[in-house]
Structure 1
Amino acid sequence: MTAKPARFTERPWFSSGPTAKRPGWTPQALSAAPVGRSNRSKITVGRIKEALELTRDILGIPADYQVFMTPASDTGAFEAAMWNLLGLRKVQVVAFENFGQLWADDAVKHLKLDAEVLSAPYGQLPDLSRIDAEADLIFPWNGTTSGVKVPDASFISDSHQGLVMCDATSAAFCMDLPWEKLDVTTFSFQKALGGEAGIGVLILSSKAVERLNTFDPGRAIPKVIRLRKGDAADMTILGGDAINTYSFLVIEDYLDALKWGLREGGLEGLIARCEQNFNYLREWVEATAWIDFVAEKVETRSTTSVCLKFVDPAIVGQPADMQAKLAAKINALLETEGVAYDITGYRAAPPGLRIWCGCTVDADDICALLPWLEWAYAEALNQLELSVA
């Protein structure tokens, strides 16, 4: 049997969303939140504007792009964009994991658009050479549930005529996004910066704002995701006002995370933390015979939501439900020891593990986790009475 490691992780939070709080976080960070105040008051509107300005500064968002908040996390932000902006042109949806498929289902089944879905199984990207520059394009930058990312934006033409809409929720703050090629970008606080859930961020280029101001999609849009007021974009929302009533504990938490990000060196420092975490995990995977990346190509491996699959032939030969039991047992063993929480793969993905390596995770904890993975795998095999060579 593999010996139980002596060293424990300091912070066992490796969930892929909501993710780990920033190092050193305590509830005291929220003590200045303007709770009990109107969301229209000077202090609360000021908090929203400060958060949006820091978001723009850290991510390097161009000055002519609009940045604002929406209800319902990244899902609400992306739904708002789809319902308000799509229908003028053909739509192409790139679907290589759960959330890309979710946007494809919305486009085809609910909005009933002229839509083409470019799909691929878990671990792969679709043929991106099929992207039509005349179409509105929808794609996730990073597949949170598959561990697959687009390697860069070279598949998007510099003269793309349609809108380019990017779900960047597990990429923002950990990967460099090419704003000049993105017209609609969304993410949530709860992913890369470990914020509390419930609010999304929506970023629109001037081309997207022009579409919003000039195109009537001809469909009823629920108020909670409506981005127009009358015949024009609701510029009070785009200027930082609230589209809905938000929790200012959540916004205070986001501000705290943003200010930590600045102390860590801004976007460059946050990306460096993420890549260091990933590299420690990558080296272990490459040296370990029973596990491998779900992403089949090196250049498409996510550096945040790292998805792993079992590759030991004796395990791969087991039914999928037994492989899922193995992953669940590993997770349970590590939770019991207080070493790692929530590291099973997504339910629709190949059975295996998913370990968040984003910027709020400390590299020392990734290093401390690795021998525990070895121990838990061996212990799980024993408890499930599975034998491997």
Structure 2
Amino acid sequence: MKTERVTLAGVGALLLVAALAVVTPSLTPGVLDWQRAFELLLWGTTALFAGTALAWLVLTYVVGANYESPDPVHDGDDIQVRILTVDAANVVQATVDSLPATLDDVHVIAEADVDVDGADVHVVPDEFDCTAVRKGRAIEWVRRHLACDREFVLYLDEDSHVESFDGLPDADVVQLREQPRHTGSTLSYLADIYRMGVQIEQRAFARLSIPLFAWGGGIAVRQSVEDEVTWDRETLVEDTAFVWAAAKRLDDFTFELATATCRNEAPPSLTEITQQRRRWAAGNIEAATELPLGYQLLTRIRNYAWALSPIVTLVVVPLSLLGIGVAGGGGLFVLTSLSLGLLTLFWYLRGVRYYGVDDVEWALAVPLAPLVTVVHSMGTVAGILAPPEEFRVTRIQGECLALQGQDESDSREPFHSQWHAGYSTHGNLNLQVALST
């Protein structure tokens, strides 16, 4: 983490000083050829962006070419459902109500006692102690204490509404698809649409020795594999860390992407999406230290690219509008920047397509794609420069709405157990350029 922090802070500071020197040379010291330094930095970040984008294209359209989710072979009789929450009974109830009737073994794992119809509620004891923290601690407790005679355990976040569920394919870990729903900030929702476009790289993960990330909002684990690998490790991204540990430990580890989809809530505000992406980035970088060297390198490069990619929006575009040439005005730089800009638009439109015809009107927001990439990336920058020292759960809109009618004397803070890494998206190693993730 320290390497990423020092590098990103140094590059960012140099870019700002160099940009200032190009715009107002009289205000900056003449110790360097700032124009030349600025050009080199822009070329470096552009090359990083381009290299990661090329890797994404290869991963998605070469490695993942023609991937189709295997036919389901395990129905509800083989699956125990476990829904993780802090204490959001109304949010959990909506998730339980979304489950198909075939999923009849349903359990809610909570930090406080809640009343939920259609599920057995289990409260994690305060005195339970293990290496895992927060959501990981809750999952590890339930793994040890809740009997399971089913082949699979399906973990859901409290707001993960299940749609189009027709069973699970046979694999050690089965990742459900993700489709965030619009609940608060429109920009946050657009950033998740963008992330869904990038996240189609998941279809290649079944063909990798180690999947690049996992999304804990909807993930099924073979019960025997769970007991062998366990969740007992300290991490902010317990789902991705579990999958990485399983892939390393098991010689014949298998991972598949299901056809089933979870509709979780997109972060309701810009503050929440920044904090969410911050946790994903910091957690993934920390967990990656347990990966083989090649995967560690890939993780670092992807996070650099994710964090630095908005430079075109924040630096190059404003200077161009001011009539100030960048990177020597070379045709190759312009062509490369234009290609990457078009690829960014493609990722956003690919996300709209992923949502389907019912949401096609969001394609009209494509002119906002540069701003959306900034919204998507700022949390990663924060996660690298200032990683969270403790876990912070993401508040969701459904919970906040329920609290509007709460008695003013009840000072309980609203919490949200959207503990996944996500990606997904989250992440999630889901990079904006390549991730996310």
The TM-score, its normalising length taken from structure 1, stands at 0.25
Higher helix content, 1 or 2: 2
The TM-score, its normalising length taken from structure 2, stands at 0.23
Higher strand content, 1 or 2: 1
